[in-house]
């Protein structure tokens, strides 16, 4: 499994030691809870201004937890990395977790979120202008149970369009799927809304946006191994508190959020590629400043996945959700 440890953890380690030593703290708690937390994430893009703000501003260190991020090359690596114990938690769409849990593959819980809303789109070649023109054509997805496939099926169902006659192609990563439409090697693609600002110039139509078609569909939940939650509860709640600090800071400091996203994307803060996603996140409140588990959205997701045949029965949220770490973290930020 190819994964990259985010280099920021090495840059921040000296600062972490200063914070810990100046506070007179040890690297763990009295009950042996090691204040370290390792998270598998997908590479952020235009949403980095929100998703990386806690790391950028050192909020995890201020909360007294050492957080290591492992960048996964694709969403298909997330749950295997969690199951193998390589990470304590992953940021992943809950749909894949529900499907894996139905097979009994994971002993884990949803403990929060990094993005409760999903900025996603269905892109199509210029001859296709609406979803109802897609049956009988090809669409680039990833794996059959991955987010690009499941969100496309849910959007089709919500719009009353059958996707059964569509040829579903494994189109690689997010950018690869979009580029396949531009190149004409597929009729359409399911990919993040990052590419909306450039679609018209590329001769591509945006035939559906998830915030309009399925506004309650969640993007990234934080899914943690139950054994790590039991062994390191304080680390988990401090990690969540740091995330909350970062989200709130990003909402309150738009210029810094835009600058961070632009830095990660290698462009300027006024690039429409950057400003479009920032405005979409803010306008639709796609990031919860409290990093909540968003149980109503999880219920909606479970119902939609059951209706579209991805789940045999609705997910048992009573056993798959643990909101105690998030509630504890919320209390920390208010004290």
Instruction: Please tell me the predicted confidence (pLDDT) of residue 296.
Output: 97
Burial class (CB in 10 A: 0-12, 13-18, 19+), 300: middle
At residue 194's C-alpha, the angle toward residues 53 and 259, to 5°, is: 35
Instruction: Please tell me the predicted confidence (pLDDT) of residue 145.
Output: 78
Q: How far apart are the first and last CA of the chain?
A: 41
The yes or no reply on domain 120-213 and CATH 3.10.20.30 is no
Nearest residue to 295 via CA among 261, 323, 332? 323
Instruction: Please tell me the predicted confidence (pLDDT) of residue 238.
Output: 98
Assigned architecture for domain 3-117+217-334:
3-Layer(aba) Sandwich (3.40)
Instruction: Please tell me the predicted confidence (pLDDT) of residue 24.
Output: 35
Q: How many Cβ atoms sit within 10 Å of the Cβ of residue 35?
A: 22
Domain boundary assignment for the chain: 3-117+217-334, 120-213
Q: Which residues of the chain have pLDDT under 50?
A: 1-2, 6-26
Instruction: Please tell me the predicted confidence (pLDDT) of residue 76.
Output: 83
Would 3-117+217-334 and 120-213 be classified into the same CATH topology?
yes
Distance between CA atoms of residues 225 and 313, nearest Å: 23
Distance between CA atoms of residues 75 and 85, nearest Å: 16
Question: What are the structure tokens assigned to 303, written together?
Answer: 């119902």
Instruction: Please tell me the predicted confidence (pLDDT) of residue 31.
Output: 55
Instruction: Please tell me the predicted confidence (pLDDT) of residue 73.
Output: 85
Instruction: Please tell me the predicted confidence (pLDDT) of residue 15.
Output: 34
Instruction: Please tell me the predicted confidence (pLDDT) of residue 2.
Output: 47
DSSP-H helix ranges across the chain? 8-23, 48-51, 53-57, 59-62, 78-84, 94-102, 147-158, 174-183, 196-199, 210-213, 226-231, 233-252, 254-265, 272-284, 295-307, 317-320, 324-334
Question: Residues 104, 40: contact at Cβ < 8 Å?
Answer: no
Instruction: Please tell me the predicted confidence (pLDDT) of residue 292.
Output: 98
Tell me the pLDDT tens digit for each residue of 55-87: 999 999 999 999 999 999 888 899 999 999 999
Sign of the C-alpha dihedral computed for residues 114, 119, 122 and 124 taken in this order: negative
Nearest residue to 177 via CA among 154, 199, 209, 153? 199
């Amino acid at each position: 499994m190819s994964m990259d440890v985010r280099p920021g953890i090495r840059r921040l380690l000296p600062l972490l030691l200063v914070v810990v030593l100046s506070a007179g703290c040890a690297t763990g708690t009295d009950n042996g809870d090691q204040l370290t937390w390792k998270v598998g994430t997908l590479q952020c893009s235009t949403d980095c201004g929100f998703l990386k703000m806690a790391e950028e501003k050192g909020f995890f260190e201020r909360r007294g937890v050492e957080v290591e991020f492992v960048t996964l090359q694709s969403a298909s690596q997330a749950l295997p990395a969690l199951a193998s114990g390589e990470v304590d938690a992953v940021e992943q769409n809950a749909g894949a977790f529900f499907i894996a849990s139905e097979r009994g593959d994971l002993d884990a819980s949803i403990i929060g979120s990094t993005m409760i809303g999903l900025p996603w789109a269905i892109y199509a070649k210029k001859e296709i202008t609406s979803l109802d023109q897609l049956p009988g054509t090809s669409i680039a997805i990833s794996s059959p149970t991955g987010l690009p496939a499941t969100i496309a099926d849910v959007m089709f169902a919500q719009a009353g369009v059958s996707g059964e006659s569509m040829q579903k192609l494994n189109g690689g990563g997010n950018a690869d799927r979009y580029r396949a439409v531009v190149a004409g090697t597929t009729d359409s693609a399911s990919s993040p809304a990052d590419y909306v600002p450039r679609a018209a110039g590329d001769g591509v139509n945006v035939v559906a946006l998830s915030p309009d078609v399925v506004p309650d569909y969640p993007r990234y939940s934080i899914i943690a191994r139950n054994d790590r939650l039991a062994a390191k509860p304080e680390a988990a709640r401090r990690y969540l508190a740091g995330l909350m600090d970062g989200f709130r800071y990003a909402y309150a400091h738009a210029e810094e959020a835009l600058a961070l996203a632009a830095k990660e994307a290698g462009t300027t803060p006024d690039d429409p590629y950057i400003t479009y996603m920032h405005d979409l996140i803010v306008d639709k409140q796609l990031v919860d400043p409290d990093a909540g588990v968003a149980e109503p959205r999880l219920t909606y997701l479970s119902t939609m996945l059951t209706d579209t045949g991805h789940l045999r029965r609705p997910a048992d949220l009573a056993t798959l959700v643990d909101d105690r770490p998030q509630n504890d973290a919320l209390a920390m930020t208010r004290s």
